[in-house]
Structure 1
Amino acid sequence: MKQQYTITVYAEDQIGLLARITIIFSRRKINIDALNTSSSEIPGIHRFNILIDETEEVVKKLCKQIEKQVEVLKAYYHLNDEIVWQELALYKVPTSQVTEKMNVERILREYGARVVSINTDYTVFECTGHREETDKLVKVFENYGLIEFVRGARVAIIKDSEGFHKKIKEFEAKQPGEEVIENEFLSQNATVFSM
């Protein structure tokens, strides 16, 4: 059964990686509903939040495929109840409607919105919340001649996570395993064996 999943990817900040990640989705004909990239809590490491509607089996395969990219450190996936998330929306409304017909104070209070720009021709409102909340405000502003609407991509934090930087520190503190030492020995002596 398809559900809404947020895929979180931690990766090195490298040119072209975003294109390679999105190709993984387009090759499988999977639509990305929202995509957000930003720096993470670790210098030099970026965080991608990718929102899709898919089955868990497909999402698991996508994460494994994403992790095959050299620059990717880890890819996680979560349902909506496993993350804390928000989306930002901006609404442009004619200023004449705002001053003459709209109860601005009530809208600001009821929807948690705020005014970010007032111009003689238009006023821009901002609202942060879940998609259902920002969609309700679209309907309200449509009654007042909504000129323009834009919604930003999802920003999400995993509820049951101590932060990826802790996992990186644990990884860096580990001593190489026997398998790594054995491979290192073979590569150093490869010329001796090939003679």
Structure 2
Amino acid sequence: MVKKRWLSLFVENEVGVLARVSGLFSGKSYNLDSLTVGVTEDVTLSRMTISLTSDDQTFEQVKKQLNRCVEVVKVIDLTDTPIHMKELMFVKVHTCSEQDMTRLNYIREIFNAKLIDYDAEAALLECVQPEQKNNDLIRLLENHYPNRLEIVRGGSVAMEAVSISDNTV
């Protein structure tokens, strides 16, 4: 079954590790939906959060190949695990009239986005939400501001929930 999958990798914090891990995906023609990486509380390790859409067989191959990489310390499959996931996204809306700005402020409040910069003709929003909620915001903005958007998405980060009863996304 083809579905969205999540992996968390702990890797050695060394030059070239990101290139080798991403190269594994491109070499096998696996497409990544998102890849983020950052140093952990242990400065010798980085944590990569990878999302991809794949079938069960391909996903098992990906996990096996990642486990074979010398620099990969641990591979965690988060696919069926309760997680907290967020994605950073910036959206710039160009050519805004006063009426556009009023509507944008209303939309911004609904999606809990921040207005972080603006001038007489443009506004810049910051949204830190689950990927699907950011997708919903983009669709709504495209309907109201067609051909006036500039979007930058930073990729998702995810971490296992503390307990099963947590509200996870």
TM-score by length of 1: 0.73
- Contact persistence 2:131–2:156 (CA under 8 A): no
Larger relative helix fraction? 1
> Paired residue for 1:151, among 125, 134, 153?
153
Structure 1 range deviating more: 68-77 or 130-139: 130-139
Q: Does 1:135 align with 2:135?
A: yes
* Whole-angstrom CA distance in 1 between matches of 2:51 and 2:12: 20
- Contact persistence 2:81–2:160 (CA under 8 A): no
Q: Match of 2:29, SS?
A: coil
* Whole-angstrom CA distance in 2 between matches of 1:150 and 1:135: 12
How do 1:140-179 and structure 2 match up within 5 A?
140-142=140-142, 143-145=144-146, 146-159=148-161
Bigger radius of gyration among the two: 1
Larger relative contact order (Cα-Cα within 8 Å, sequence gap ≥ 6): 2
Instruction: Name the amino acid aligned to 1:154.
Output: S
User: How many positions carry a matched residue from both structures?
Assistant: 160
Moved over 3 A (4+): none
Measured against aligned partners, the alpha-carbon deviations of 1:79-122 in whole angstroms (never above 9, x if no partner) come to 1653210112111113633x233334422221111101112332
How do 1:1-195 and structure 2 match up within 5 A?
1-79=1-79, 82-94=82-94, 96-97=96-97, 99-101=98-100, 102-142=102-142, 143-145=144-146, 146-159=148-161
* Whole-angstrom CA distance in 2 between matches of 1:96 and 1:50: 36
> Percent of pairs identical after alignment?
25
| TM-superposed deviation, 1:130 | 2.0
Instruction: Please report the RMSD computed on the Cα atoms of aligned residues, expressed in angstroms.
Output: 2.1
TM-score by length of 2: 0.83
Larger relative strand fraction? 2
Q: Match of 1:21, SS?
A: helix
